[in-house]
Structure 1
Amino acid sequence: MEFDLSSAAFWVAVGQIILIDIVLSGDNAVVIALACRNLSPEQRKKGIFWGVAGAVSLRVVLTTFAALVMNLPWLKFVGGLLLVWIAVKLMLPEDEDGHDIQSSEHLWGAVKTIVVADFVMSLDNVIAVAGAAHGSLALLLFGLAVSIPLIVWSSQLIMHWMERFPAIVLLGAGLLGYVSGQMLLTDPGLLALLPPLPEWSGKAAGAVGAVLVVAVGRWLEQRILAKQDVTIV
């Protein structure tokens, strides 16, 4: 995809990257708060700043690397399958009491905790954003440049919206399913085995992926909730 600010496809891809970042970065504010909760108010601000800066820098490097190698045969296919699992998991109710994040009384200890935790939690984000960028490094960097400040500045508000309006999570899961479907069908290794496909096949695969993720996610969610009700009774 060309870096063309007048292209509708470009802005659609940017919108996908921003929404993916918002949906998959909801836990970051929690991690930051937990890691810095024992710092003094002055150090807390520094801890948040340097922790976010380190985590963002690491994520940009990882996502750029993923976008550059994504066009290698079968990598997009594997990434698409993994993204399907990530999208379905996003819709399932959490059964854990909280994050296993250790707070620190020292500034750089808190910064290290934020960076390491974000690295562990970034796999889903890296794969999804790299897939939405369609191999365009310029589009990837532009999308991240727009979305990262949005997440950092409004993370608490975003988390509140996601709790109040569950449809945001459902929309995000559907978007991840759409991106995964396109990734699967546009993998160079798979395309080499298939006959020439029409231009609309990528969008059709994305639509099938979105419907599949939402349907499977809803089904598993209902099964989990039913089991929880039985256990409570």
Structure 2
Amino acid sequence: MELLTSPEVWVSFFTLLILELILGVDNVVFISILTGRLPEEQRPRARFWGLLMALLTRLALLATLSWMVGATANLFKLFGMGFSWRDIILIVGGLFLLVKSVHEIHVRLEGPEPEQGGNGGGGKTAGFTSVIIQIALLDIVFSLDSVITAVGMVDELVVMAAAIVVAIALTLVFAKPIWGFIDRHPTVKMLALSFLVLIGAALIADGFEQHIPKGYVYGPIAFSLLVELLNIRAKKAAAKPVELREPHAKDH
């Protein structure tokens, strides 16, 4: 009960909730890109399992707080630079995200034409199991970053778990329109892939202890997205048919 009546706890909860929602954006975008290669009827199930695995991975990492604290301790040094489990996971995950995103961009720009009944992504459809495995691997990377942020901000395990559960629940609610919007607009999908390239590069840099402020990554993407939204709005306005109005008789 003391936790529920403590203003500091509520401030920590909402601050962490906002951060978890922000950190979850790249996860949502990545799931959208990967599931876009699946047949239409399999996408909702894959997206649900992707977010569910993100939640379970975060809670599992929270349950091993002692390991999480040790994950930042150096395992070895190379060229005078120390590397921890966290650094290794971020570097490997960043490389995977970078390679996967660049490959998806290549497929959409120079790959084969989409098949009939297709997936909107160019080329053959991906296997359901393959997509789920790839989502699970990246969930570990995104979850590690998310949980380490939580551990560094809040002392109470209950508050951390509550913020993460609520963040995933909200993401599940609002992710569907985001996924639908990305699927309907190929230019936004390309922008999302570029966003993932930046995220991958930022993860690799973070693994080498070269921290890039989130604002430097999210700021340009937010501006680019705003410009693209204006372009979409302008195209819709230009596509509207001209409506002829009936002449009005003048009153005598």
TM-score class normalised by the smaller sequence: 0.5 to 0.7
- In the TM superposition, what whole-angstrom CA distance separates every residue of 1:80-129 from its partner, at most 9, and x where no partner exists? 42476479767999543249x9626xxxxx54343223113322212122
The answer for the alignment partner of 1:124 in structure 2 is: 141
Offset, 1:57:
2.4
- In the TM superposition, what whole-angstrom CA distance separates every residue of 1:198-227 from its partner, at most 9, and x where no partner exists? xxxxxxx9xx84459969xxxxxxxxxxxx
Letter in 2 for 1:35: L
- The answer to whether the 8 Å contact 1:32/1:114 transfers is yes
Residue-pair matches, total:
172
Indicate whether 1:81 and 2:87 are aligned. Answer: yes
Percent of aligned positions that are identical: 8
- In the TM superposition, what whole-angstrom CA distance separates every residue of 1:31-84 from its partner, at most 9, and x where no partner exists? 112121xxxxxxx33x12222222222222222111211333412443542476
Indicate whether 1:69 and 2:75 are aligned. Answer: no
- The answer to whether the 8 Å contact 2:93/2:138 transfers is no
- Greater shift, 119-128 or 155-164, is seen at 155-164
- The answer to whether the 8 Å contact 2:46/2:132 transfers is yes
- The answer to whether the 8 Å contact 1:25/1:151 transfers is yes
Question: What secondary structure does 1:117 align onto?
Answer: helix
Correspondences of 1:49-68 after superposition (within 5 Å)? 49-68=44-63
- In the TM superposition, what whole-angstrom CA distance separates every residue of 1:115-174 from its partner, at most 9, and x where no partner exists? 22311332221212222332522222122112233233313546939828x899879988
Rounded to whole Å, the distance in 2 between the matches of 1:61 and 1:69 is 13
Flag structure 1 segments of 5+ consecutive residues without an equivalent. Answer: 37-43, 105-109, 182-204, 216-233
1:33 to 32, 36, 47: 36
- In the TM superposition, what whole-angstrom CA distance separates every residue of 1:171-195 from its partner, at most 9, and x where no partner exists? 9988x79xx79xxxxxxxxxxxxxx
The answer for the alignment partner of 1:23 in structure 2 is: 26
The answer for the alignment partner of 1:103 in structure 2 is: 125
Question: What secondary structure does 2:29 align onto?
Answer: coil
Rounded to whole Å, the distance in 1 between the matches of 2:89 and 2:32 is 23
Offset, 1:17:
0.9
Rounded to whole Å, the distance in 2 between the matches of 1:13 and 1:147 is 14
The answer for the alignment partner of 1:143 in structure 2 is: 167
Rounded to whole Å, the distance in 1 between the matches of 2:11 and 2:137 is 34
Flag structure 2 segments of 5+ consecutive residues without an equivalent. Answer: 74-83, 108-120, 152-156, 218-252
TM-score relative to the length of structure 1: 0.53
Rounded to whole Å, the distance in 2 between the matches of 1:168 and 1:94 is 6
Rounded to whole Å, the distance in 2 between the matches of 1:87 and 1:121 is 6
- The answer to whether the 8 Å contact 1:55/1:118 transfers is yes
Rounded to whole Å, the distance in 2 between the matches of 1:168 and 1:111 is 21
Question: What secondary structure does 2:36 align onto?
Answer: helix
Question: What secondary structure does 2:133 align onto?
Answer: helix
